[in-house]
């Protein structure tokens, strides 16, 4: 087991953070670790403790930290300038590569975060359709905007289609503009889209919702009904874009939306996101073409050249033979090993997700939607994550992100750590019996 003693400097930084940051952190993951360095599939904290990293910066570092090709490209650009608030070569070429790779992308507009991209995409389709309502799915994550925070993780479940705000400060009026449907319930979703068709600006969905795969036919049904009714379909691919396949989840599942959003991987670890889609809808961003329907979208760092060149370098690495196969094989091995250990130990639980992003949900029965995930035993999950951390595995409370940089040795260490967590859980349950 790694020595995870805390240095005086790290403890000092933790105390400073408690004083100057609300909750002692940036609002993301645990505040008791201060990361100093990342290389490949590993990170080190200020105390020098080493971890196999399944946070991956919440997903952007799909080819690992400090990939030499990305570092070289960024270093070269930094000597030429870091931001211009004007068109730059790398941003233009990145847009061209997205159009080449992503099935729905005819044109691209950049922003700086997934939240921005999702908020702009929803505003774009509302402007296009001249309708105010958005239909989303319970448990779907679409950033931190008022619309996005409707029924993301409701603690008190409401009857569909009622939207539940997940944060104070959201105007009550927003509730009436969001229609909430159950993910993976094809018949109900189609019925609701038809029922609200005259009021909907668009439908937004994560094609792979957090950790939940779409059931067969679900995405195709959404595509069919929205196309019939002329309602734009948005795929939120901030997470899945360039991760499930080079063309994203829409390539992986063979379903093409009207609009998609992307982030994380396309910025290579720098703040960058994008809205992409049909040229006639994207034309609302063009003052000359849109006229009175022109939709203003301004961002100081949109299309930033450093982020763009990092994204281009990352994409070049992903186009190399075997990149995706390597990540898939590593993740599948982890998923299979964890499932086998849970089954052998008789611990109710299952590995839910996809080889490049998954987690363990401690519950029996099939999981098809947010309410199924809610059945999971949060206390057991917390205990497992604590043991994993003690054994040098860094992950969020709810997800493993797998990279192309993770090695067989990383996988072995992870499965050994998971075995220790299983053994600790078995002892705990025997003691309580």
Element (H, E) at 255: none
Q: How many CA atoms lie within 13 A of 31 on its CB side?
A: 16
The long-range contacts involving 315-320, CB below 8 angstroms and separated by at least 24 positions, are: 315/97, 315/101, 315/242, 315/246, 315/266, 316/69, 317/63, 317/67, 317/69, 317/70, 317/404, 318/62, 318/63, 318/242, 318/246, 318/265, 318/404, 319/246
DSSP structure class, residue 145:
S
DSSP structure class, residue 298:
-
Q: Are 255 and 220 in contact (CB under 8 A)?
A: yes
**Would you state the structure tokens that stand for residue 380, as one six-digit string?**
């057991």
- CA atoms of 237 and 219, how far apart (whole Å): 14
User: At a CB cut-off of 8 Å and minimum separation 6, what does 55 contact?
Assistant: 29, 43, 394, 395, 396, 401
DSSP for 5-51, please give it: PPPHHHHHHHHHHHHHSGGGSSSSS-SS--EEEEEBTEEEETT--EE
184-215 burial: b if 16+ Cβ within 10 Å, else e: bbbeebbebbeebbeebbbbbbbbbbbbbbbe
Is 401 a catalytic site residue?
no
In 247-304, which ranges are continuous DSSP H helix? Answer: 248-253, 279-282, 287-290
Q: 118, 236, 359, 410: which is the annotated catalytic residue? A: 236
Is 253 a catalytic site residue?
no
Other Cβ atoms within 10 Å of 85 Cβ, number: 12
- CA atoms of 69 and 407, how far apart (whole Å): 19
Q: 133, 136, 264, 395: which is the annotated catalytic residue? A: 264
Is 399 a catalytic site residue?
no
Q: 141, 196, 324, 370: which is the annotated catalytic residue? A: 141
Q: Which residues are catalytic?
A: 141, 236, 264
């Amino acid at each position: 087991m790694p020595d995870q003693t805390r240095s005086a400097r790290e403890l000092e930084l933790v105390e400073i953070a408690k004083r100057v940051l609300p909750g002692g952190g940036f609002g993301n993951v645990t505040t008791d670790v201060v990361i100093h360095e990342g290389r490949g599939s590993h990170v080190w904290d200020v105390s020098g403790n080493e971890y196999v990293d399944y946070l991956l910066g919440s997903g952007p570092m799909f080819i690992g930290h400090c990939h030499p090709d990305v570092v070289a490209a960024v270093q070269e650009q930094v000597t030429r300038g870091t931001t211009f608030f004007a068109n730059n070569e790398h941003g233009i070429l990145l847009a061209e590569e997205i159009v080449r790779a992503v099935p729905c992308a005819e044109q691209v507009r950049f922003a700086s975060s997934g939240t921005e991209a999702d908020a702009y995409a929803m505003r774009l389709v509302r402007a296009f359709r001249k309708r105010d309502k958005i239909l989303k799915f319970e448990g779907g994550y679409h950033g931190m905007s008022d619309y996005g925070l409707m029924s993301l993780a409701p603690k008190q479940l409401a009857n569909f289609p009622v939207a539940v705000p997940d944060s104070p400060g959201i105007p009550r009026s927003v509730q009436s503009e969001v229609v909430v449907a159950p993910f993976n319930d094809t018949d109900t979703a189609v019925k609701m889209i038809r029922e609200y068709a005259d009021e909907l600006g668009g439908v937004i969905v994560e094609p792979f919702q957090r950790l939940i795969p779409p059931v067969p036919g679900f995405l195709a049904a959404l595509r069919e009904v929205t196309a019939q009714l002329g309602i734009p379909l948005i795929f939120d691919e901030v997470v899945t874009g360039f991760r499930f396949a080079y063309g994203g989840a829409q390539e992986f599942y063979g379903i093409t939306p009207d609009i998609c959003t992307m982030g994380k991987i396309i910025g290579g670890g720098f703040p960058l996101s994008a809205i992409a889609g049909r040229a006639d809808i994207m034309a609302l961003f063009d003052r000359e073409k849109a006229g009175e329907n022109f939709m203003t979208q301004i961002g100081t760092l949109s299309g930033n050249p450093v982020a763009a060149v990092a994204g281009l370098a990352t994409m070049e690495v992903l186009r190399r033979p075997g990149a995706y196969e390597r990540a898939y094989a590593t993740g599948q091995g982890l998923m299979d090993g964890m499932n086998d250990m849970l089954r052998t130990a008789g611990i109710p639980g299952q590995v839910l997700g996809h080889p490049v992003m998954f987690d363990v949900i401690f519950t029996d029965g099939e999981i098809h939607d947010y309410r199924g995930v809610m059945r999971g035993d949060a206390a057991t999950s917390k205990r497992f994550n604590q043991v994993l951390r003690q054994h040098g595995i860094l992950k969020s409370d709810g997800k493993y992100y797998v990279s192309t940089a993770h090695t067989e040795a990383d996988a072995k260490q992870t499965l050994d750590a998971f075995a220790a967590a299983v053994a600790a859980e078995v002892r705990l349950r025997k003691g309580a019996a």
